[in-house]
Amino acid sequence: MATENKNLSNYDKSTIPNANKFRFGIVVSEWNDTITGNLYEGAYNTLLEHGVLPKNIITWHVPGSFELIYGCKKMQKQMVNAVIAIGSVIQGETKHFDFVCEAVAQGIKDLNVNSETPVVFCVLTDNNMQQALDRSGGKHGNKGIESAIAAIKMAELRKNS
């Protein structure tokens, strides 16, 4: 496992651009809301920590991870510099997990290919609830923090290219 015994949410804050002039959209799945709530909190607080004003963070909720694609597509039209898609899909007893994970990954990839507004993939695809907890504020850090850093870097890239 790539993140075994590592907390990837620790980073050098001095290397992150000041984001005070950027606007961000965050689209959050309501499914597995304990996990997505933790991811959202990590992303939101990290954006604030890097200079984003609260009024420049637009948050929308969608029912599940599959609906993130549509929500992010609509969010791209809100004059934001980057969008963060937050979701959590946990393996069950059927193939539903595979279909949802594949569709969401491909859908968000398509949004990035077809738009000038980057969408950051913060969708946990875990085998069980413990793995999701470990990646949403547990022993492996908070992927929401990492997604906010990625969004800031992508907004900066968009501005400079």
Residues labelled as active-site residues: 96
CA dist 112 → 28, 85, 88, 109 (Å): 18, 12, 20, 5
Pairing mode, if any, of strands 24-29 and 119-126?
Answer: unpaired
Strands 136-138 and 141-142: antiparallel
Backbone phi, psi, residue 125, to 5° = -125, 85
CA distances in angstroms from 81 to 26, 78, 96, 119, 138, listed in the order given: 11, 9, 33, 9, 29
Q: Is residue 137 within 8 Å of residue 114, measured between CB atoms? A: no
